[in-house]
Amino acid sequence: MTTVAAYAAPAAKAPLERTTVERRPVGENDVLIDIKFAGICHSDIHQVREGWGKAIFPMVPGHEIAGVVAETGPGVTRFKTGDRVGVGCMVDSCRVCTNCKAGLEQYCADGPVWTYNSIGKDGEPTYGGYAQTVVVDENYVVRIPGALPLDAAAPLLCAGITTYSPLRHWAAGPGKRVAVVGLGGLGHVAVKIAHALGADVTVLSQSLRKKDDGLRLGAAHYHATSDPATFEELAGHFDLIVNTVSAPLDFAAYFSLLRTDGTMVNLGLPEEPVPVAMQALFGGRRSMSSSGIGGIAETQEMLDFCAEHGVTAEIELIRADQVNEAYERVLASDVRYRFVIDTATI
Ligand code: NAP
Ligand code: ZN
Ligand code: ZN
């Protein structure tokens, strides 16, 4: 075991503080990663606050990990010391179920081993990326292309794949009208990727405060959801609505913006159940769906796509001791557009 410095929440809702955690020895197929940057996802905040149910403490959040390989186990074939690598939300899965075999490890029948707030195959709790190092099986590690700076690439490991996967699944591209609801961490990457895929992109934000940014990131249109005229003007307009909002929404109002056979895919994971009026879907054979991150191969595909199209996150780089303040700003929708911790400051 190796002791490394980390930032952890000692208990539910408690502020994060500097501490240490144990990392397992580098096994046969493991890669030891020297973590350089860790993005702050809203999911980190939901879990630190036990908003999704009982969690494991102390909790070292962080599933947007970018770093450099420091050591490899004897059986590792895909990575060598010095490689630039990333780790997202999963660090293992059963590998034999139908979903794992189909490259959908995120939907593993046994549930994947999450990067933190989970129990690993060794029976020990997993600890995430707000730390100096992590040891991960090479099958759950991806390569960060040289064209992507490590700090701005870190958020792609969750925000990138979470938006890329549904945009590809529902075939966002030329001739498709795509709405992105919420211009936060996920939302701003969704805008960039949907634009790079050739879709006609609209941002639906609470206000017009970030309009200039939204248009610069690749949206062709920008509307405030606080303005009732938005819902009249855009009725029946979209092929696909990508909802990245972390709080409950008036779903019926958004369904009315879909064309016949349009889909609203929900990526946001509010802490409370959301009532849905089925009549709103019924008019026009509309669908409501959800999507969770993406598989390992698709995460690599997303990184290669982002390198090819120059897509990275817009980040605010912070010191580790600013993490609690950053959480408050995320909760206040005051993030432009992803906080990333410089792990050298831990
Ligand atoms: P974020 O940076 O906080 O962005 C969420 C955005 O939603 C905000 O910037 C804001 O955008 C909007 N918003 C916030 N509160 C709102 C409210 N009460 N009403 C309307 N709009 C509101 O969060 P994130 O990191 O992108 O994560 C978003 C959600 O996705 C979280 O629930 C997270 O847990 C979840 N998530 C899911 C997956 C998955 O696999 N499905 C993966 C990662 C994250 P505007 O200011 O533009 O309105
Ligand atoms: Zn995340
Ligand atoms: Zn499985």
Three-state SS sequence of 33-75: EEEEEEECCHHHHHHHCCCCCCCCCCECCCCCEEEEEEEECCC
**Is the beta carbon of 60 within 6 A of some atom in ligand 1?**
no
Helices (H), the chain: 42-48, 98-101, 150-153, 159-169, 185-196, 211-217, 228-233, 251-255, 279-282, 296-309, 323-331
Instruction: Identify the CA nearest to 185 among candidates 53, 37, 331, 15.
Output: 331
Ligand 2 center–CA 62 separation, angstroms: 8
Looking at domain 160-290, its CATH class is alpha beta
Kindly state the DSSP code that residue 88 receives in the 8-state scheme. Answer: -
- Residue recorded with tokens 């939901």: 46
Mean pLDDT for the chain overall: 97
DSSP state of 272: S
β-strands 84-87, 17-23: how paired? unpaired
Angle at 335 between CA 289 and CA 207, to 5 degrees: 70
- Distance (angstroms) between ligand 2 centre and the Cα of 329 equals 16
The residue whose CA has the least distance to atom 35 of ligand 1 is 268
Q: Is the CB of 331 within 6 Å of ligand 1?
A: no
Q: Cβ(230) to ligand 1 under 6 A?
A: no
166 CA distance to ligand 3 centroid (A)? 20
Q: Are 33 and 72 in contact (CB under 8 A)?
A: no
pLDDT in tens, the chain (346 residues): 999 999 999 999 999 999 999 999 999 999 999 999 999 999 999 999 999 999 999 999 999 999 999 999 999 999 999 999 999 999 999 999 999 999 999 999 999 999 999 999 999 999 999 999 999 999 999 999 999 999 999 999 999 999 999 999 999 999 999 999 999 999 999 999 999 999 999 999 999 999 999 999 999 999 999 999 999 999 999 999 999 999 999 999 999 999 999 999 999 999 999 888 888 888 889 999 999 999 999 999 999 999 999 999 999 999 999 999 999 999 999 999 999 999 999 9
Cα-to-centroid distance, 321 and ligand 3 (Å): 37
Q: What distance in Å separates the CA atoms of residue 37 and residue 58, rounded to the nearest whole number? A: 21
Ligand 1 atom closest to residue 331's alpha carbon, by position in its atom list: 3
Q: Examine residue 337 and say whether the peptide bond preceding it is cis (omega within 30 degrees of 0).
A: yes
Atom nearest to 337 CA in ligand 1:
2
Query: In angstroms, what CA-CA distances link 156 with 255, 264, 300, 323?
Result: 28, 22, 10, 19
Instruction: Say yes or no: CB of residue 46 within 6 Å of ligand 1.
Output: yes
Tokens encoding 228:
């009732």
Greatest distance between any 2 Cα atoms in the chain:
62
Q: How far is the CA of 28 from the centre of ligand 2 (A)?
A: 28
Q: Which residue has its alpha carbon closest to ligand 1 atom 29? A: 268
Put simply, whether the predicted model's pTM sits higher than 0.95 gets the answer yes
Q: Distance between CA 93 and CA 207 in Å, rounded?
A: 40
Dihedral pair phi/psi, residue 66, rounded to 5° = -125, 135
Is 330 touching ligand 1 by the criterion CB < 6 Å?
yes
Find out whether the beta carbon of 186 lies less than 6 Å from any atom of ligand 1: yes
CATH number of 2-158+314-345: 3.90.180.10
Asked if residue 250 has its Cβ within 6 Å of ligand 1, the reply is no
Tell me which residue has its CA closest to atom 32 in ligand 1. 246
Pairwise CA distance, residues 246 & 268, whole Å = 5
Structure tokens at 148: 């992507």
From the alpha carbon of 267, which atom of ligand 1 is closest? 41
Closest CA to 302 of 174, 189, 214, 182: 189
Q: Where in the chain is the domain with CATH 3.90.180.10?
A: 2-158+314-345
Pinpoint the residues of the chain covered by CATH 3.40.50.720: 160-290
